[in-house]
Amino acid sequence: MRHDLINTSGSRAYNGIIVVAEKTARAQGARTLLLETVMLKIHVAATDSRAPINEDAVGHFGDAAWVIDGATGIGASLLDAPSDASWLARTADAAFRTLLSDDPAISTRELVREAITLCRDALATNSVRDAEGPHEHPSAAFTMLRRIGDSVELTALADCKIAYRDADGMAQLFASTTFDAIEGRTLALTRELLTAEPEISSATLVERLLPQLQANRRQMNQPGGYWVLGTEPAAADHLATLTLPARPGQDSRWQATVSCG
């Protein structure tokens, strides 16, 4: 999909996981000690790009669930793969599963750092040409939900979001905000082009936007720019995070939708 507002296939996409945290109780011992345990249940996990190449991935392992929204490339491919973005989405997805299997208690920051390091090293091994710069490396927006004890931790990079209900039952949206200014400039240029030429084709629109998109990518994973899941481990130091109780109020169920698209 995208983290710079361009989907060159012209198709709509949905990628998401509906997660419920349930607190259950069981009796133990002669004096009937009640033990409460929070468990995550995956109700739906789906990715549907409706495009020839699906550049997104959804995954879950143990008490973690995530969505990876690959950013469509704007240059020649670096890899012998359906697309660089699809390769990254699947490589990062596999890395999360492996790392969580090896160490279920790993912190999310270190999990993301190690997954990115694995992706960086795999890119170096499998590239069919040298990148002109880091802006050509594959990248993705990303969000994750994890159970940490009796809490639920939300994490995001770029424009993936998590919808959830707070302790008062009000719908809330969690996301990173570091990409908002760059996204705003691209949206403004898109509106300007569409106003000037309402019948402009998708291909021509992308061509006209390309210089702006290339400028955006050069700010990727740079101080003062925006941070994404890709090949720069330092992005793990810029995660947007939020920790919430797994059971707000007196409700024994806590529900969130982790999505992109």
pLDDT per position as a tens digit, 217-238 = 899 999 888 999 999 999 999 9
Confirm whether 5 is domain-assigned.
Answer: no
Q: What is the pLDDT of residue 75?
A: 84
Q: Higher confidence at residue 39 or residue 179? A: 179
Question: Is 32 part of any domain?
Answer: yes
Q: Quick check: is 2 in a domain?
A: no
Q: Within a domain: residue 152?
A: yes
Please report whether residue 129 resides in a domain: yes
Task: Tell me the CATH number at 214.
Answer: 3.60.40
* 182 found inside a domain: yes
Q: Place 31 in a pLDDT band, splitting at 50, 70 and 90.
A: very low
pLDDT score at 2: 42
Q: In the prediction, which pLDDT does 10 show?
A: 38
pTM above threshold 0.85:
no
The total number of structural domains in the chain stands at 1
Domain span at residue 210?
Answer: 14-260
Query: Confidence class of residue 107 from pLDDT cuts 50, 70 and 90?
Result: very high
Distance CA 146, CA 64 (A): 4
Whether residue 6 lies inside any domain: the answer is no
Q: Is residue 1 part of a domain?
A: no
Q: Is the pLDDT of residue 29 over 60?
A: no
